Structure 1
Amino acid sequence: MPSSRLLRYNFAPTLNGTIASLPSHTTPWIVSDPSISFPALYASFSTFIMGRKTYEALLAMAAAGEKNPLAGRPRESVVVFTRDTDKAREWDGEGKGDVTVVKEGIVGFVRGLKEKEEGGGDIWLMGGGEVAGVLMRAGLVDVVEAAIMPVVVLGEGVRMFGDAGDGGDLKLVLEKVEGLESGIVMTRYRVVYD
């Protein structure tokens, strides 16, 4: 029986599918839109998963004085995937840190999250592209939600699905599209697996 918890890859790319600038892995080109309610968006998820670089970007934002949207959440609801042993030790704090760190077995871990009904809401795959590609190839991403930014098309950057191209074609079915006054185009696609 399929899980009622959806794994939603929710991100803000440029028109050519770049989700972060290189080499900094930052997103200074993201524009804001007052019609987007971030509290409502975050409330629709009970679990947040991401790769090391995405988590480091959140930490850098907090260090620069910006509010960390995941601060204060239960550690089991924020999951960071990394093979970096030093970072894993620092962030996990031997089970006492602010996040849960997973060093290996990403696919099995996410499959287990989706099968777990307690915790309620959907799972937000926040990034990055490599993690998204791995989970797409494993058939675990249910929905792709892209808030396409009205910015220059970057020549070099992190691709939204990493190197997922070697996993064969996947079909996306458009469920929703909405243009915002800021120029952002909000899209929602359901992923169709054979």
Structure 2
Amino acid sequence: MRTIYNTATTLNGYIADERNSLDWLFAVDDSVAPDQEEFLAGITVLVLGSTTYEWVVEHEHLITHPERWPGYFGRRPLFVFTTRELPVPAGADVRFVRGPVAQVLPRIQEAAGDGDAWLVGGGDLAGQLLDAGALDEVQLSVAPAALTGGAPVLPRAVGADRLRLRTVERFGQFAHLTYDVTPAG
């Protein structure tokens, strides 16, 4: 299993604003976007932090409209790192997990089988996976927007020796960057 952090970010490195909202992202024209179907073809499990999960569930009204769930996540298991009790849309395979990332990884790897894990968000969870040596790839869709604060894309000091740029693509207003993560020294 490879763990791929695929997210959108502002020019100045935020994935959500001060209210943990992604509304800034939906203001950007996304009529030309990467082929999500191709990306999802290799993804067998999803991983989210509780703030990202909660925002998506609330913003997309997935509790009152659980029929929308497959359109966002398919039938893949979704692991949510949280210490809180959160609602689950009817029919969704949501698995709440607690504790250090390294302790939960075997469960995620087992659920992934021969596929990959998509870390949907957030940045702190990406940092924890990086710290655990379990982050393999970072894909950033950089939007033409800036925020004055919020949730950083990766709240860690990461040297250029750890990230190797593999591809740069343009999708409308987004620059899509793909980095391979190399093991720590």
TM range (shorter): 0.7 to 0.9
Which residue of structure 1 lines up, in the alignment, with residue 75 of structure 2? 73
Which residue of structure 2 lines up, in the alignment, with residue 189 of structure 1? 179
Amino acid at match of 1:127: G
Please give the alpha-carbon distance, in whole angstroms, between the structure 1 residues aligned to 2:15 and 2:121.
Answer: 9
Which residue of structure 2 lines up, in the alignment, with residue 127 of structure 1? 121
Unaligned runs of 5+ in 1: none
Q: Shift of the alpha carbon at 1:139?
A: 1.2
Aligned residues: CA RMSD? 2.7
Q: TM-score, normalised by structure 2?
A: 0.82
Which residue of structure 2 lines up, in the alignment, with residue 160 of structure 1? 153
Unaligned runs of 5+ in 2: none
Amino acid at match of 1:17: G
Picking from 47, 50, 61, the partner of 1:49 is 47
Q: Shift of the alpha carbon at 1:119?
A: 2.8
Picking from 7, 11, 21, the partner of 2:7 is 11
Does residue 103 of structure 1 match 2:98? yes
Amino acid at match of 1:113: I
Matched length: 176
Classify 1:118/1:55 alpha carbon distance in 2 versus 1 (closer, same or farther; 3 Å).
closer
Amino acid at match of 2:181: V
Classify 1:92/1:149 alpha carbon distance in 2 versus 1 (closer, same or farther; 3 Å).
closer
Paired residue secondary structure (1:10): strand
Paired residue secondary structure (2:16): strand
Does residue 175 of structure 1 match 2:155? no
Amino acid at match of 1:159: P
Classify 1:44/1:145 alpha carbon distance in 2 versus 1 (closer, same or farther; 3 Å).
same
Identity in percent: 28
Classify 1:133/1:59 alpha carbon distance in 2 versus 1 (closer, same or farther; 3 Å).
same
